[in-house]
Structure 1
Amino acid sequence: MSNEQNVSSASFVPALCLGVLVFVSGAAVMIYEFIAVRMLQRFFGSSLEVWSAEISVCLLGLAAGYSLGGWMADRFRSWAPLGVVLCIAGFSAVFMEPIVVKTAEHVAQSEVMRWWEPLVASAAATLVPLLALGTVMPQAIRLAVTRLDRVGSSAGRIAALSTLGSICGTMATSTLFVTWGVRESLYATCAALVVGGVFIVFAHFAARRKTAPVAALIVASAPFLAPAAFAQTIYENYSAYHHILVRDEAEKRILYFDSSPQSTMFKTDAYAGGFEYTEFFYAPLVLDPTTKSVLFVGLGGGTGPKYFLKHYPEMKIEVSEIDPAVVKVAKQYFELPEDPRLRIVTIDGRTFIQRTKQTYGAIIMDAYASGPNGAYLPYHLATQEFFRSAFDRIENGGCLVYNVMGEYGGSNDNIVRGMLQTLESVFQKVYVFQAESSWNTVYLAQKIDPAKLAPNGTRDGKGWPDGPWLAHPADLSDLAAQLAAKGNYLPPNFPKRLTQFSAAHTAARDGKLYTDNNAPVDIAQGR
């Protein structure tokens, strides 16, 4: 046999078709991976363990698939098995969400998440479709080889197409999740694989003058394409960043991200019923009653922006919210008004702060990811480098407010200590408050740049309340009472609220300094 002898199988499908199938299967691997993570985060939070579990399962599935695919390529040397595995990869992934739900219900039995729980759920949901996709490349290489002296170039070309597909699948996920939603992206990917697989099988048997009723695979999957309904839920969706739920519970409407409550209001009064910790958002207006502009990072149901728009007619509000789906929910279900004083930018908070040229009287941080053991701050919003960027965007005498789900000596104690240590490395004065009705710790960090003060020690030559209060320690409760007596709006009993100091306020500063290089705030605690 000469090395130029044609060793390909049936040639009825052109090389272009084979390349497209390899490209699509490569893209599907990454799309499945991202979709699985979004579904796993609903039950296991946004911790790194979820990503570690899914990446491990993905690599295991591909490794097993490569081995099985090599055997299939040598054993069958046919297009039909390639079509079958594409159908399996598409059809089995349709069940990804119910498998995640059922598996999580069985393994998540303890209060603290065990390291193997997301690994088991990930394997149950994605190992089969990923294994099937792993068999594609070896079979495609076998079918692409037409000359024995070109095996290397054929294998390299197929591997390159698969990798390019994976790159495109990775880049496409953010657009697909935002435009379609997670479920819709999953079903579209499944459909593409099943259609491709059915085409290959039909074409193979048509070439042999045979037919097979494999189209029934698509029909059989139809009942599973309808999303499940949830009792007491008026809205549910997977966005690119959250599993979003809006529930009406008794007299309240509550917004959930990944089963963690984010915002609440009374159904009969959109400006009442908010969480206690949101009242601390008014604290910067005590230290500087002249504040005219506020930036909120994280929108949720829009409690803070909504209240500020109502009570401060001269104030301009900007919001940085990474998830456009959250913006729609806040407007549609939580009555966030359309107002010329309100500007919402759908962008990551750190990116916005680093790029904007605007300065603010206050920046209010209420952005975090929720997990089974508590709150997990996005690490890039909790570092010294980030706080320096925020410091530059705050007016002298202005404040940064930061909400953390945790309490000193209790849940997420290490994060509460670390955040205080890190904030005090940037800001001149930091107060720490503790909510009474929840385990929210709220930091109030004031910027005081002595080099830019007037000769009399004020910012603009005017003392408080016509300018910021800059002398510390201060009796914030007394300052609030004075403002309320003058007619400045503050929440009822707000002076008392400003006496709710966290024990961290006077404790030893022994927390970890968080930097971009090391800020493990998004890794589950309690193991």
Structure 2
Amino acid sequence: MVLAGISLGNYLGGKLADRFASRRMLGILFLVSGLAALSVLYTASALASYKGPSTLPLVLRIVALTAAIFFLPSCLLGTISPLLVKLTLRDLNRSGDIVGKIYAVSTAGSILGTFATGFFLVSFFGTRTIILGVSLLLFLLAIVFGDWTVRDRGGGRIVSLLLLLATGLGGYAIASRGALASNCLKETNYYCIKVYEETVQDHPVKVLVLDHLVHSYNSLEDPQHLVYGYEFMYAGLTEYAARRRPPGGLRTLFIGGGGYTFPRYIEARYPGSVIDVIEIDPEVTQTAVEYLGLDPMGGIRSINFDARLAIKEMLGDQMYDLVLGDAFHGYSVPYHLTTKEFNDRIKAHLAPGGIYMLNVSSQ
């Protein structure tokens, strides 16, 4: 949807550039784009709980919501480049050089923005603060490049002051009304993490939500308390594996930690077990320690790494009686954890008679 919006914006921006090529128009586009970017904070909050018509497939609902939030801002931002090219081209003999430089800078900015946002900015600032920062930057660019004083110095200065005032008041209004307040307990490079309390089956539990999916129900008082149906299937197969082994605990590997519900279950029910948990997001593990009853000094070893690489490089020759796959990205198992190569690596770490159990959502 973002690329579609940019494409339409490029087309419309070209039409605007041919008819209204001026720095004043450039400033207007920066200003309107800033307002559209600012609107994302409101539309995202308003549509956060809207799931759309249940008759529509999930993919179409996601596309529709993404379009409602991001299409217009992307389209308006896309109008800027053609106008910028038009204003920069003063000598047709150097048009190739100028356009090439503009596209080179644009592409370099896209690459830098992708990596900086994914690896640093989201975890340091959160998505809402980033969006506000982008909006304020666009307002500032509108003031600097709008050239509001060309025709009427007095009027232009007034417009500039009004823009500055609107920027400050807009930022204050957003902050004071809670638009910057994330509903995430923690926002990491991978998830929006939320934890809340609930009573399930007459038992108080802590609920872990990663993005919009409930991943676990944890009882702080009773680690052996299970809620999900698949956990009872896990428990039955674990009991079967334990009866086949000599006393002294099980050797278990978990792919995906989540709320560490079943690792805590095994730690409590089968003392002395080897319990290795591969969880890609260290903040998920830390959340389990802070809120979900995981004892960092207990018998559970956490490996915060991608499961495919961890199994290849970090487990050595350790063998396991049980390998439990419970890693999800949304409703699906990450693709690279479903390949034949990955399953061959799992098999290489299974003890004779070992069991590999995989949780797959039907959504």
Do both proteins adopt the same fold according to a TM-score greater than 0.5, normalized to the shorter chain? yes
Q: Which residue of 298, 318, 336 corresponds with 1:380?
A: 336
1:310 CA drift (Å): 4.0
Distance change >3 Å, CA 360–CA 111, structure 1 → 2: farther
Match of 1:288 in 2: 245
If the length of structure 1 is used for normalisation, what is the TM-score? 0.58
Larger-Rg structure: 1
**After superposition, where does 1:200-239 map in structure 2 within 5 Å?**
200-201=145-146, 204-205=147-148, 209=153, 210-211=156-157, 212=159, 213-218=162-167, 219-225=169-175, 226-227=178-179, 236-239=185-188
Distance change >3 Å, CA 389–CA 90, structure 1 → 2: farther
1:228 CA drift (Å): 7.7
1:115 CA drift (Å): 5.0
1:271 aligns with 2:227: no
1 or 2 for the larger relative contact order (CA 8 Å, sep ≥6)?
1
Match of 2:198 in 1: 249
Q: Following the alignment from structure 1 to structure 2, what is the Cα–Cα distance between the partners of residues 347 and 89? A: 39
If the length of structure 2 is used for normalisation, what is the TM-score? 0.81
What CA deviation, in whole Å up to 9, does each residue of 1:69-123 have, x standing for no partner? 2233233332232233233323322332542454576661326636532332222
* Equivalent position SS for 2:31: helix
Q: Which residue of 212, 215, 224 corresponds with 1:262?
A: 215
Q: Which residue of 297, 318, 324 corresponds with 1:364?
A: 324
Given that residues 294 and 317 in structure 1 are in contact (C-alpha distance below 8 angstroms), is that contact kept between their aligned partners in structure 2? yes
Q: What residue identity is the alignment partner of 1:402?
A: L
Match of 2:11 in 1: 67
Q: What residue identity is the alignment partner of 1:386?
A: F
* Equivalent position SS for 1:178: helix
What CA deviation, in whole Å up to 9, does each residue of 1:411-452 have, x standing for no partner? x3xxxxxxxxxxxxxxxxxxxxxxxxxxxxxxxxxxxxxxxx
Unaligned stretches of 5+ in structure 1? 1-56, 406-411, 413-524
1:168 aligns with 2:91: no
Q: Following the alignment from structure 1 to structure 2, what is the Cα–Cα distance between the partners of residues 339 and 326? A: 17
Q: Following the alignment from structure 2 to structure 1, what is the Cα–Cα distance between the partners of residues 243 and 55? A: 40
**After superposition, where does 1:268-347 map in structure 2 within 5 Å?**
269=221, 271-276=223-228, 277-279=230-232, 280=234, 282-283=238-239, 284-289=241-246, 293-339=251-297, 341-347=299-305
Q: Following the alignment from structure 1 to structure 2, what is the Cα–Cα distance between the partners of residues 107 and 307? A: 34
Match of 2:64 in 1: 120
Distance change >3 Å, CA 179–CA 144, structure 1 → 2: same
Q: What residue identity is the alignment partner of 1:246?
A: V
Given that residues 100 and 122 in structure 1 are in contact (C-alpha distance below 8 angstroms), is that contact kept between their aligned partners in structure 2? no
Distance change >3 Å, CA 244–CA 391, structure 1 → 2: same
Q: Following the alignment from structure 2 to structure 1, what is the Cα–Cα distance between the partners of residues 56 and 4? A: 26
Moved more, 123-132 or 322-331: 322-331
1:319 CA drift (Å): 2.0
1:125 CA drift (Å): 0.8
What CA deviation, in whole Å up to 9, does each residue of 1:331-353 have, x standing for no partner? 11102111264432322222322
User: What is the number of equivalent residue pairs in this alignment?
Assistant: 341
* Equivalent position SS for 1:336: coil
Match of 1:199 in 2: 144
Q: Following the alignment from structure 1 to structure 2, what is the Cα–Cα distance between the partners of residues 228 and 177? A: 13
Q: Which residue of 392, 398, 409 corresponds with 2:348?
A: 392
Moved more, 302-311 or 101-110: 101-110
1:180 aligns with 2:130: no
How well do the aligned residues superpose, as a CA RMSD in angstroms? 2.9
Given that residues 10 and 78 in structure 2 are in contact (C-alpha distance below 8 angstroms), is that contact kept between their aligned partners in structure 1? yes
Higher helix share: 2
Q: Following the alignment from structure 1 to structure 2, what is the Cα–Cα distance between the partners of residues 72 and 123? A: 23
Distance change >3 Å, CA 151–CA 105, structure 1 → 2: same
1:143 aligns with 2:93: no
Q: Following the alignment from structure 1 to structure 2, what is the Cα–Cα distance between the partners of residues 87 and 326? A: 39
1:155 CA drift (Å): 0.8
1:143 CA drift (Å): 2.6
What CA deviation, in whole Å up to 9, does each residue of 1:444-467 have, x standing for no partner? xxxxxxxxxxxxxxxxxxxxxxxx
Unaligned stretches of 5+ in structure 2? none
Percent identity over paired residues? 28
Given that residues 263 and 274 in structure 1 are in contact (C-alpha distance below 8 angstroms), is that contact kept between their aligned partners in structure 2? no
**After superposition, where does 1:433-512 map in structure 2 within 5 Å?**
none
1:240 aligns with 2:189: yes
Given that residues 91 and 221 in structure 1 are in contact (C-alpha distance below 8 angstroms), is that contact kept between their aligned partners in structure 2? no
Distance change >3 Å, CA 400–CA 181, structure 1 → 2: farther
What CA deviation, in whole Å up to 9, does each residue of 1:212-241 have, x standing for no partner? 2201332224323424879xx8x6444333
